[in-house]
Amino acid sequence: MRVTTAPRAGRREWIGLAVLMLPTVLIAMDLTVLHLAVPALTADLQPTSSQLLWITDIYGFMIAGSLITMGTLGDRIGRRKLLLMGATAFGLASVLAAFSTSAGMLIAARALLGIAGATLMPSTMSLIRNMFLDPGQRTVAIGVWVSGFSVGSAIGPLIGGLLLENFSWGSVFLLSVPVMGLLLVAGPLLLPEYRDPNPGRFDLLSAGMSLAAVLLVIFGFKQVAESGLTLVAALCIVGGLLIGFIFVRRQQTLSDPLLDLRLFRVRAFSASLATYTLGIFIGFGSFLFIAQYLQLVLGLSPLQAGLWSVPGAVAFVLASNLAPRIVRHIRPAIVVAGGLLLAALGAGLLVPTDTNSLLLVVLGNTIMSLGFGFTFSLTVDLVVAAAPPERAGAASALAETGAELGGAMGLAVLGSLGMAVYRTQLLAAMPTGISPELSHTVQETLGAAVVAAAELPDALAGELLNAARQAFVQGLHLNALIGLIGFTGLAILIATMLRHIRPHSEPHAEAEAEPLEPAISGRPQPEAQFGN
């Protein structure tokens, strides 16, 4: 067993961490403010329904499809270099989006934003791996970095709403320009450069295959969420999986693979990545229904719903920053499993909800978020720590790709299951006097039922809304039950698979976290270089 004493980070690294948080806060804000701008940009650009879907979706598609390629590219050309290139591209694409004069131009700008965004997350996460070599400090740094997503999600709607009240819809895109400008100025001064000294040849075919595989799978699952399991959705998913299988086989034959599959031999890496991906998969189903419950079942305004969501965001930030302190004295397996059991408890609180359970839903959401804060900050840390330094970019990209895939599949699979329950229950309780055409419409979504009820006589509208809301709550119950069972199962998995990793305060903790590193790479470990 290899015993090392890692150097501790100083003031420069901690200030650099603040710089690395900028992209996480920005990307989380970008995901939230666009939805606020949709009414205004729709009135200005007049996109078709299909174009509007692509405006909102293409960004996430391109991020997910490009992550593996960009993570590996950063390992080869330098992570700081790729980060600064991506920041430049993100700023320019934001300006292009802000001043778009047609729906097609905005779709193209959003696609470029997605590709540029894919350079930011793996670069920031892998740079944290290189800047914070001490296991305890690195866990703290990743906890702070992860909490940036909650901060961005919380302040995004507030800042976006303020901008939209005083400026045009393009202002929400210009928000990123000064942030990227600050990153370009501070990055060269505070961030180290780090690259693999022997990267080998970059395989363009593998890069194209990874992009196609991820895009097809995510697009297919999104189609399932929107229209059910159609032929197009099935072909996309099967085609993506087939390309993914060929991609994996190709990596096994290359001397310089785009993705080193030997990373998966590290037990901490595989278990943590699986927990991160599946946790997001399960959580997205519940969060999708909670957001709609607050507005469509309880009738809260978007602002009121956002305010009732703040306790969950605060709980996530607190847990993300508390977890590093706890793992100094308690094994990570216990802390992560405990977080998952908290998430299971939060999901369990949603099972007995009815159409007037505001406090119970807020409490369940807050406890789930608290559990996620413990779980996600530590699993991301374990994924990055388990890979050797020269593969940190690829490992970071896999974590982010897992998050994108987990989110897409959660929305599609669990969202579809919940809506299937909604349709079945509503059909059984459909009030008399509803025409077959209207009956079909209101079975699509609860939102459609709320809109339709506004056009009906008061008595019939009340009956329809009550039936629709009751049916929707049954779908929420199913997702909550899946969460209860799923999070409990993941807690057992992680407690078993990671039991060998010691608390960070104990000797050999880092050595046990990376038991197979020599098998992955026997190449010399390069020094990180600050400045130019």
pLDDT tens figures, 151-193: 787 777 777 777 877 888 888 888 888 889 999 999 888 888 8
DSSP 432-451: TT--HHHHHHHTT-HHHHHH
DSSP assignment letter at 251? H
| 16 part of a folded domain | yes
Cβ neighbors of 52 (< 8 A, separation 6 or more) are 38, 42, 103
| 239 part of a folded domain | no
Q: If pLDDT is split at 50, 70 and 90, which confidence band does 49 have?
A: low
Distance between CA atoms of 289 and 447, rounded to whole angstroms? Answer: 12
The DSSP H or E segment spanning 128 is helix 103-131
190 shares a domain with 76: yes
| 367 part of a folded domain | yes
272 shares a domain with 165: no
152 shares a domain with 25: yes
| 242 part of a folded domain | no
Looking up residue 332, the CATH number of its domain turns out to be 1.20.1250.20
Model confidence over 286-334: pLDDT tens digits? Answer: 887 887 888 888 888 766 777 888 888 889 889 988 988 898 888 888 9
What is the average pLDDT score of the chain? 82
Percent of the chain exceeding pLDDT 70 equals 90
Model confidence over 425-435: pLDDT tens digits? Answer: 988 888 888 88
Q: What is the pLDDT of residue 1?
A: 41
Distance between CA atoms of 194 and 83, rounded to whole angstroms? Answer: 11
pTM for this predicted structure: 0.76
| 252 part of a folded domain | no
> Is the model's pLDDT at 511 over the cut of 60?
no
| 420 part of a folded domain | no
330 shares a domain with 192: no
321 shares a domain with 185: no
CB atoms within 10 A of CB 148: 23
Distance between CA atoms of 102 and 124, rounded to whole angstroms? Answer: 33
Mean pLDDT confidence for 263-270: 82
Model confidence over 467-492: pLDDT tens digits? Answer: 999 999 999 999 999 999 999 999 99
> Is the model's pLDDT at 522 over the cut of 50?
no
Least confidently predicted of 34-43, 54-63, 340-349, 460-469: 34-43
Cα–Cα distance list, 201 to 78, 205, 288, 366, 520 (Å) = 15, 12, 42, 47, 18
| 164 part of a folded domain | yes
Model confidence over 386-413: pLDDT tens digits? Answer: 777 767 777 777 787 788 778 777 777 7
Model confidence over 207-224: pLDDT tens digits? Answer: 888 888 888 887 887 777
Residue of 133, 135, 138, 95 whose CA lies nearest to 116: 95
271 shares a domain with 198: no
361 shares a domain with 273: yes
Which 3 state secondary structure label does DSSP give 163?
helix
> Is the model's pLDDT at 507 over the cut of 70?
no
| 55 part of a folded domain | yes
> Is the model's pLDDT at 517 over the cut of 50?
no
Q: Is the alpha carbon torsion for 148, 149, 151, 156 positive or negative?
A: positive
176 shares a domain with 274: no
Q: Is the alpha carbon torsion for 426, 432, 436, 439 positive or negative?
A: negative
Least confidently predicted of 3-7, 268-272, 390-394: 3-7
Mean pLDDT confidence for 372-390: 82
Q: What is the pLDDT of residue 158?
A: 73
139 shares a domain with 29: yes
Q: Which of 202, 226, 250 is where one domain is finished?
A: 202
154 shares a domain with 291: no
Q: Which of 185, 202, 219 is where one domain is finished?
A: 202
Q: What is the pLDDT of residue 84?
A: 92
> Is the model's pLDDT at 514 over the cut of 50?
no
Distance between CA atoms of 432 and 341, rounded to whole angstroms? Answer: 44
Q: Which of 178, 202, 226 is where one domain is finished?
A: 202
271 shares a domain with 186: no
Q: For the chain, how many structural domains are there in total?
A: 2
Distance between CA atoms of 451 and 215, rounded to whole angstroms? Answer: 33
Cα–Cα distance list, 436 to 94, 273, 465 (Å) = 46, 47, 17
Please name the residue that has the structure tokens 């997702």. 479
Cα–Cα distance list, 95 to 5, 89, 175, 262 (Å) = 46, 10, 10, 41
Model confidence over 67-99: pLDDT tens digits? Answer: 888 888 887 888 889 999 999 999 999 999 999
**Domain encompassing residue 16:** 11-202
Please name the residue that has the structure tokens 């299988």. 245
270 shares a domain with 161: no
Residue of 477, 449, 511 whose CA lies nearest to 355: 477
